[in-house]
């Protein structure tokens, strides 16, 4: 099984900040990596798939990069609605999620 590790586990930032969340796979998953956003009491929402492809309707301030074992999700300029928990998920084998990164308002 491929394990996913995100860092940091939590992050405090301000509106307008640029933030980056990283995700590391226990072995190479090529570019089979997805990112989700989840707000309290809601189902996750897909942001990015295949490591860097933005889902339709997702603002362009979100971007993803990486391949192999190291990936990142960047939000170029935080907006109030972006404060949420973010998960990576590998789709190279049976699915596995990272433990999540909680993005909080500073």
Q: Does 32 bind other proteins (CB under 8 A)?
A: yes
Q: Does 97 bind other proteins (CB under 8 A)?
A: yes
- Cβ distance 46 to 64 under 8 Å? no
By CB under 8 A, which span of 13-21, 47-55, 62-70, 73-81 interacts with other proteins? Answer: 47-55
Structure tokens at 35: 């990112």
CA pair distance 61, 63, nearest whole angstrom: 6
In three-state secondary structure terms, 101 is: strand
- 26/77 with CB nearer other proteins: 26
- 15/32 with CB nearer other proteins: 32
- Cβ distance 2 to 90 under 8 Å? yes
Q: In degrees, to the nearest 5, what angle opens at C-alpha 56 toward C-alphas 8 and 74?
A: 25
Residue of 21, 25, 31, 78 that binds other proteins (CB under 8 A): 31
Would you tell me which residues interact with other proteins (CB under 8 A)? 1, 31-32, 34, 36, 38, 43-46, 49-50, 53, 55, 87, 89, 91, 94-100
């Amino acid at each position: 099984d491929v394990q996913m590790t995100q860092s940091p586990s939590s992050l405090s930032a301000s509106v307008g900040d640029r933030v980056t969340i990283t995700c590391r796979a226990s072995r190479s998953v090529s570019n089979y990596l997805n990112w989700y956003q989840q707000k309290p009491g809601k189902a996750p929402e897909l942001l990015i798939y295949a490591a860097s492809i933005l889902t339709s309707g997702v603002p362009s301030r979100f971007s993803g990069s990486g391949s192999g074992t190291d990936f990142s999700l960047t939000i170029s300029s935080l907006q109030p609605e972006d404060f949420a928990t973010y998960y990576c998920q590998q789709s190279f084998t049976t699915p596995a999620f990272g433990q999540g990164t909680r993005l909080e308002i500073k």
